[in-house]
Chains A and B, each alone.
Chain A
Amino acid sequence: MNIEWQTPSAHSRRSFLKGLGTAAVTTAAAQAEAVAAELEKANAERTVGPGPVPVTLKVNGEQLKLLLEPRVTLLDALRNYSSLTGAKEGCDRASCGACTVLLGDLPIYACQKLAVEAQGQEITTVEGLAKEGKLTKVQQAFLEKDALMCGYCTPGFVMSVTALLKQNPHPTAADVKRACAGNLCRCGTQPRVLEAALSAAGIAAHRTTNTEVVNA
């Protein structure tokens, strides 16, 4: 049997309805088309795309002027249309947190926000934290505690912890765990992320790991 691989976009809504092929459906379809036309007219001035449209993003205090299709996510806008590749793509479906950036003070998954929707808001990526090359307290704590290995998830964790400490300068271990619940790491840096976050908050010596060297 030879079959054609028909993909979703091969069908338009119209051809789908046509396929059903009864008078009743035709009537319903006509009504639906009319409603759609009305809506389209009402929204005309608010509708953009599907072609590229000018988008202005305020990232790390600077204006980023881009020409993007409205379906481009904030993550793709940063990584593929600017040189800001600090936010990483690990899943592109809101489950790994490697793309975490700040929208105002709020940590968000950049893969789940359209770039057009992020206009007019202050966006901070990991590149925007260290001023004049000086690491922030959070970054410095990550460095000292070795809260990174391959480092691919690290920008996401740094942003989640940065957002937490802005909102709550004296977090508990449970607060840190909650704040980083949306960030995955495969190398296994989690215990040291916890230590780094608390250390950055000036909370002494919360240790989830401990090491002793015994000489042979």
Chain B
Amino acid sequence: MPEWPAQNKYIGQPTTRVDAAPKLTGRARYSSDIQADGWLYGMILRSKWPAAKILSVNFDKARSFPGVKAVALARETPFTVRYYGEEIAAVAATSKQACLDALHALQVTAEPSERFVVREDDARKEGSPQVWEGVTNAPTPRERKTGDVDAAFAECAAVIEGFYTTPVQIHHPMETHGSTVSWTEEGVTSWASTQGISSVRDGLAGSLKLDHSKVRVVTDYMGGGFGAKFGAGVEGVLSARLSREAKAPVRLMLTRFDQALAVGNRPSSFQKIKLGAAADGTLRAFEMENYGTAGIGAGAASEGGGGGADLPAPYLYKVPNTRVKQTAVAVNAGSARAFRAPGNPPASYGMESAMDDLAVKLGMDPVELRLKNDPSPIRQREFALGAARFGWKQKYRKPGSSPGVVKTGVGCAGAAWPAGGASRQTQGEAQINPDGSIEFRLGVQDIGTGTKTVIAVVAAELLGLKPEQITVKVGDTDFPPGPGSGGSTTCASISPTVYDVCTKALQQMQTQSGLADVRAENWFAACKKLGVNPLVVHGQWQPGLSSDHACGVQFAEVAVDTETGLVTVIKVVAVHDCGLIIDKLTLESQINGGVIMGMGYALYEERVMDDLSGVVLNPNFETYKLPGIADVPEIDVVLINMPERGVIGIGEPATVPTAAAIANAVANALGVRVSSLPITPAKVLAALGKVPATTA
């Protein structure tokens, strides 16, 4: 079984991003920056109705405009649209302005329907408009049971009940979805903003009825995905069809407006939880009824996990008697997709809120209650480390007992990421040149997590070179295949693969050069002996170098202004493990990012829809609020290095517990719980009885 070296020069140390300079100077070409020869601009016309039958689209006027080169219907007419923002048609023209003119000139004949529903509660009612004809919006909940819940509750010393809700959250990567597609006689090339070049190729080949060998997908740089960018997408297929008609490459990037409507979201959750414990805090019984919406669908399947509305429950804790009923409710809104740790942030919010409510009822310290019931030795250690680091004992006081108008409070929550692990099919290759330069080629993509840097760090360590001496190329389906960047699997997939490539490279170099040690200072002499031809070495993922099941706990300190209702996060202590640390610097950035995204989920983010018109009211950044630089708290990261576990991903666990920890801190500050995310000033004031509660 292979093993990671015990002594490391680069692995576990901070290494700056190998592609930082191109990104900082504007040299990096993102998918939306591609300017293929003779490229055209593409745009999509979307439904302004939440439900309608599209009978026909008249393109005549648009076609007559100078600059308009191609048009395409999203589907053959007549067809049904089921949400505000669903694709109707697309145009390609010589400029953005010409596209805008053309979209205005499209004449759509439609039968709009009044039969639509956008609120989860309404969709569940008897006689509600059906999103899919003849299919109930809310199927009978699936039920899971262990033990005897009712008997167990009867014997509990303390029982709490709560109704905890979370909103639909939008991914909103800074670069929108889209691609430039060129369709010629030779085949299709797609420069796609994607987390999965292979899944985009698969999707395009399937939709366009082409051999895989005729479709190439390239992603040199892309601007974030968070789970929403795996497939070819309607927009990708449309740009291909436009390209074929126009006989020119078409760049079709979505607008921010499009982004909010049609390319994924995190499902909402409405969690009715009942939790009971013995007097010593041992959890005895758990009951949950949960529903949430994944929009018109159960969510697009993806390598990052499903986009369904079900939650893991009772999440982290061992409870002998449980009853869990869950269902997904269809509404007339864009479909959910995998979103950073699907299911986990809402599950953490619901369960960890219930845990704190139970701790209050038991008169127990919330950390003690967790230590009592968490079966994970790693999280036990993390709670202990984090509590000490945070100063929990000094900071925790009775809920609502903080004096003054601006009240402070503290809270904590745990994370689990049972997915993770690695894609065992991952392959890679290295080309070693006679001059000693070396290039690694892997068919993965760097979505901002530092994938290229991880490859360089591992290769430098094993070859005795410096990370900057390693050229890394990813994001091309012509390279040996790798996984989509989802499920926090990339690091654990590529690190063992690069290990294998390096091991084989060293063996072959020894044979070819006749040198006993070809590493480090001997590298260039050994390469010279290759003659004229470079050496290309192929490798693949090997067992024993990676594992799965990351944990993590976070502590939050907040200040809540009881006159304005504004919540400020002062500090977050994040304690995480991901096995063997590869690059400390990019790892810290992942955790910062997880905390900040979790903070947005806790306090700001929510898709707002109007139930009368079926329209999304905040399809932009002015009204869909993301955390800004002034909102960001002090973040204190504690990393437990566990080389014996091998490499584990971190992207997802880092964002799981933040919202729950912040929500618990707010409850601790106020002495009452705001049991609905996001915790807006209006909800805080309503919880304090200062303003009437509004219906969500």
Closest B-chain residue to A149, C-beta based? Answer: B448
Q: Which of A25-33, A102-110, A182-190 contacts B (4 or more CB under 8 A)?
A: A182-190
Please provide the chain A residues from 133 to 165 with a CB less than 8 Å away from any CB of chain B in the complex: 135, 139, 142-144, 146, 148-155, 158
- B174/A150 in contact, CB under 8 A: yes
CB neighbours of B29 from chain A (8 A): 85
CB neighbours of B593 from chain A (8 A): 149, 187-189
B156 at the interface (CB under 8 A from A): no
Q: Interface 1/0s, chain B 1-44, versus A by CB < 8 A?
A: 00000000000100011011101111111101101000001000
B255 at the interface (CB under 8 A from A): yes
Closest A-chain residue to B624, C-beta based? Answer: A95
Chain B's nearest CB lies how many Å from the CB of A152?
A: 3
Closest A-chain residue to B447, C-beta based? Answer: A150
- Beyond the given pairs A4-B109, A80-B41, A127-B26, 7 more chain A to chain B contacts, judged by CB atoms under 8 angstroms and listed by A's residue number, are A10-B105, A98-B174, A126-B25, A144-B16, A190-B627, A208-B632, A214-B641
Chain A's nearest CB lies how many Å from the CB of B189?
A: 18
CB neighbours of A89 from chain B (8 A): 32, 253
- Known contacts A1-B111, A84-B26, A85-B33; is-contact A90 B174 (Cβ 8 Å): yes
Kindly state the separation between the CA atoms of A146 and B253 in the bound complex, as whole angstroms: 27
Please provide the chain B residues from 562 to 595 with a CB less than 8 Å away from any CB of chain A in the complex: 577, 581, 584-586, 588-590, 592-595
Closest B-chain residue to A160, C-beta based? Answer: B629
B644 at the interface (CB under 8 A from A): yes
Q: Interface 1/0s, chain B 54-72, versus A by CB < 8 A?
A: 0100000000000000000
A9 at the interface (CB under 8 A from B): yes
- Known contacts A93-B620, A214-B638; is-contact A146 B16 (Cβ 8 Å): yes
Chain B's nearest CB lies how many Å from the CB of A8?
A: 7
- B636/A210 in contact, CB under 8 A: yes
Kindly state the separation between the CA atoms of A216 and B174 in the bound complex, as whole angstroms: 37
CB neighbours of A12 from chain B (8 A): none
Interface size class of B (residues with CB under 8 A): 35 or more
Kindly state the separation between the CA atoms of A181 and B629 in the bound complex, as whole angstroms: 6
Kindly state the separation between the CA atoms of A193 and B629 in the bound complex, as whole angstroms: 8
CB neighbours of B26 from chain A (8 A): 84-87, 125-127, 155
B301 at the interface (CB under 8 A from A): no
A209 at the interface (CB under 8 A from B): yes
Closest A-chain residue to B623, C-beta based? Answer: A95
CB neighbours of B620 from chain A (8 A): 91, 93, 95
- Residue in B20, B97, B643 whose CB lies within 8 Å of A148: B20
Closest A-chain residue to B251, C-beta based? Answer: A80
A16 at the interface (CB under 8 A from B): no
- Known contacts A146-B585, A186-B226; is-contact A5 B110 (Cβ 8 Å): yes
CB neighbours of A127 from chain B (8 A): 25-27
Chain B's nearest CB lies how many Å from the CB of A70?
A: 10
CB neighbours of A83 from chain B (8 A): 35
Chain A's nearest CB lies how many Å from the CB of B14?
A: 8
- B644/A216 in contact, CB under 8 A: yes
Chain B's nearest CB lies how many Å from the CB of A163?
A: 15
- A183/B629 in contact, CB under 8 A: yes
- A212/B638 in contact, CB under 8 A: yes
- A190/B640 in contact, CB under 8 A: no
CB neighbours of A210 from chain B (8 A): 634-637
CB neighbours of A86 from chain B (8 A): 25-27
- B55/A2 in contact, CB under 8 A: yes
Q: Interface 1/0s, chain B 212-227, versus A by CB < 8 A?
A: 0000000001111010
Which residues of B line the A interface, CB within 8 A? 12, 16-17, 19-21, 23-30, 32-33, 35, 41, 48, 55, 95-97, 101, 104-112, 172-176, 221-224, 226, 253, 255-256, 385, 389, 447-450, 577, 581, 584-586, 588-590, 592-597, 620-622, 626-630, 632, 634-644
- B592/A184 in contact, CB under 8 A: no
Closest B-chain residue to A152, C-beta based? Answer: B223
Kindly state the separation between the CA atoms of A158 and B20 in the bound complex, as whole angstroms: 12
Chain A's nearest CB lies how many Å from the CB of B38?
A: 13
Chain B's nearest CB lies how many Å from the CB of A126?
A: 4
- B224/A186 in contact, CB under 8 A: yes
A203 at the interface (CB under 8 A from B): no
Most buried by A among B30, B224, B577, B634: B224
- B224/A209 in contact, CB under 8 A: no
- A2/B111 in contact, CB under 8 A: yes
- B24/A213 in contact, CB under 8 A: no
- B639/A213 in contact, CB under 8 A: yes
A-B contact pairs, 18 of them (CB 8 A): A2-B55, A9-B101, A69-B97, A87-B26, A93-B620, A125-B26, A127-B26, A139-B24, A143-B16, A150-B448, A151-B19, A178-B630, A181-B630, A188-B592, A190-B596, A211-B636, A213-B641, A214-B638
- Residue in B105, B222, B589 whose CB lies within 8 Å of A189: B589
CB neighbours of A142 from chain B (8 A): 20, 24
- Known contacts A88-B223, A95-B620, A190-B596; is-contact A150 B635 (Cβ 8 Å): no
CB neighbours of A53 from chain B (8 A): none
Closest A-chain residue to B101, C-beta based? Answer: A9
A201 at the interface (CB under 8 A from B): no
- A148/B640 in contact, CB under 8 A: no
Kindly state the separation between the CA atoms of A92 and B253 in the bound complex, as whole angstroms: 12
Kindly state the separation between the CA atoms of A47 and B96 in the bound complex, as whole angstroms: 22
- A92/B592 in contact, CB under 8 A: no
- B585/A148 in contact, CB under 8 A: no
Kindly state the separation between the CA atoms of A49 and B590 in the bound complex, as whole angstroms: 48
Kindly state the separation between the CA atoms of A138 and B657 in the bound complex, as whole angstroms: 33
CB neighbours of A3 from chain B (8 A): 109-110, 112
CB neighbours of B621 from chain A (8 A): 90-91, 95-96, 184
Kindly state the separation between the CA atoms of A23 and B190 in the bound complex, as whole angstroms: 59
Closest B-chain residue to A1, C-beta based? Answer: B111
Kindly state the separation between the CA atoms of A187 and B595 in the bound complex, as whole angstroms: 10
Closest A-chain residue to B638, C-beta based? Answer: A212
